[in-house]
Amino acid sequence: FYYDTFGNFRLGLRKSWEKGSKAFFIQPNVGITVNNYFDFSSVASTSTFVASKESKIVGNLGLEAGVKFYKGRRNYITLGIRHQSGLSALNTAEVSWGIPQQNQILVERSGTYTGLFVGYGIDFKGRTSEEKEVAKLEKIDKKTFRRVMAW
């Protein structure tokens, strides 16, 4: 029996290149990986285990790249790839197989992975002053057009 939980915490700066309703971005980041696990170091009898909860924290470096597809009000859907490299080893995992479980290997890991992601972003900035001015002029044009069409 083996129990692990992992948490990744990162900070990064995102650079975006916008083109119409899409934007390409790249984001380097730095952070930590927290590995919480139970270490079953000894067996007191056939019915009880002696275990202690352990934690291991290691640094990590990462890089994300992807595309943002803008929707209404500058909210966006994100598609991308993420790679993270752990900077040192986490705890080792004992993997066993066979009946009875006679074959065992120790697996070392560092929190390194590569994955794809999908996300949804909300733009809290709102419209720029130029976009607000354009929207105001469009509203005035529509109002004038309706007035002319009414006569």
pTM: 0.63
Most confident of 4-8, 95-99, 138-142: 138-142
For residue 1, the model assigns a pLDDT of 45
Mean pLDDT over residues 82-108, rounded? 76
Q: Are 95 and 107 in contact (CB under 8 A)?
A: yes
Task: List, as one string, the DSSP characters of 63-76.
Answer: EEEEEEEE-GGG-E
As a whole number, the mean pLDDT across the chain is 83
* Rounded Cα gap, residues 132 and 102, in angstroms: 70
* Rounded Cα gap, residues 135 and 112, in angstroms: 47
The 10s digit of each residue's pLDDT in 140-149 is 999 999 988 8
Does residue 34 carry a pLDDT above 80? yes
Does residue 56 carry a pLDDT above 70? yes
Structure tokens belonging to residue 11: 């900070």
According to DSSP, residue 20 is labeled T
In our burial notation (b when 16+ CB lie closer than 10 A, e otherwise), range 9-18 reads ebeeeeeeee
| CA of residue 30 relative to chain centroid, distance | 13
Does residue 13 carry a pLDDT above 50? yes
Alpha carbon separation from 23 to 11, 12, 41, 49, 83 (Å, rounded): 21, 18, 51, 54, 20
* Rounded Cα gap, residues 81 and 119, in angstroms: 11
